Chains A and B, each alone.
Chain A
Amino acid sequence: MGWDSKPVYPVEAAHTVSVRATGEQRIAWKHAARKYGKGTAGGFLAYAADFTIAVLKALEETPSWRED
């Protein structure tokens, strides 16, 4: 591993999930992985999933944004 490289996954990432994709998704995800600097499409998938959950959770847990 070079000086500037970072591991895509934490060392405790011991579980695996299989994701099927169409050809179009495969191209889009690989392109996004490069754009986001994730190294692999799997790394990008994990990032996007965590991000989606974090946004939903943050919105759910910030009720003041709904108050007048």
Chain B
Amino acid sequence: MAGGLKVASFTVRATMAQSVAWKRASDAEGHASVGTWLAEAVDRHLEAVARSGRPLPLAWRHGRFRVALEDGEREVSGFASPPFGAYRGSEEGPGPRGCWRYSLVYIPQRRLLATFRTYGHCKALASELARLWVRWGGSEPIEDPAPLLQRFQREEA
């Protein structure tokens, strides 16, 4: 930020897990503080949304699917929009209402992709990742996912 510019300050509250993850990402990308990394991540996110248009509106329905958890594979109940599934809980297993843990699963591999605080976050990530499937006519893509990754990274140029 150039000196002399009028600036505003925001305070972001975070859990311990978020603090650790943000600090790790901040360090990895060479930022002097988590705050500057956060500002860049948000701008990057907004640019990606603006460039890519609206997320693909996946159709979700109640369903059961299998997922590999810490203590083994099991069937869970949640929402499914193949090839993605989402359920309330984490890698430890299904959680109770109000647990603030919702996980996105790549059903063909039964792999847990990410755990968020809401179903909405799971569905948003699935919509982003679904673009790869669309480009390959519904088949599992063999292309490098770099374009998706790049939309969330600062343009090197």
Contact = CB atoms under 8 A, between A and B. Distances in A.
Contacts of B104: 58
A29 B41 CA distance: 12
A42 B12 contact: yes
Contacts of A45: 10, 12, 38, 42
A55 B13 contact: no
B21 A53 contact: yes
Interface residues of A, number: 44
Given A17-B14, A18-B10, A28 B46 contact: yes
B8 A51 contact: no
Contact of A48 (B42, B109, B144): B42
Interface residues of B, number: 54
A48 B33 CA distance: 17
A5 interface: no
B124 interface: yes
A57 B44 CA distance: 16
A6 to B, nearest CB: 8
Contacts of B149: 55-56, 59
B12 A19 contact: yes
B111 interface: yes
A53 B35 CA distance: 15
Given A42-B10, A45-B38, A59-B149, 11 more contacts: A15-B15, A17-B22, A19-B12, A21-B39, A22-B6, A25-B42, A48-B42, A48-B46, A54-B125, A57-B113, A67-B142
